Amino acid sequence: MQSRSQLCLDDCMDPLVIVVTVVAVVLCLVLLVVGVQTILVLQQMRQTLARVNRLTESAENNLNRAIAPLQNLGGMMEGMRTGFKMLELFSSFLHKQSSADDEIALTDKAKDKTDSK
């Protein structure tokens, strides 16, 4: 008669059980390697995104530095345009004043001529 432990070993060491166990162990190892590689890829991706972020911030800062003088130039041009409008209005006001003074002078001369007759 065989002992109980001997019976368990004979039953447990079926070739199918050994193959399933080996396949399960290999599958676990493969999944472990895939998981580690995924983590490494995600770390690389994070580093790359950080570099891209720094690059875009640098480009934005350089662009803002280049645009600032142009914005100031635009403000200066707007100020000059307003100044020219004011000068134009002032000159038209002076022209109206001088033409009004000329009319008054002409009417005074005309009255003087009619009074002297």
pLDDT in tens, 22-75: 999 999 999 999 999 999 999 999 999 999 999 999 999 999 888 888 778 778
How many domains is the chain partitioned into structurally?
A: 1
Q: Which domain holds residue 51?
A: 4-116
Q: How far is CA 21 from CA 1, 26, 31, 32, in A?
A: 29, 9, 15, 16
Q: How confident is the model at residue 2 (pLDDT cuts 50, 70, 90)?
A: low
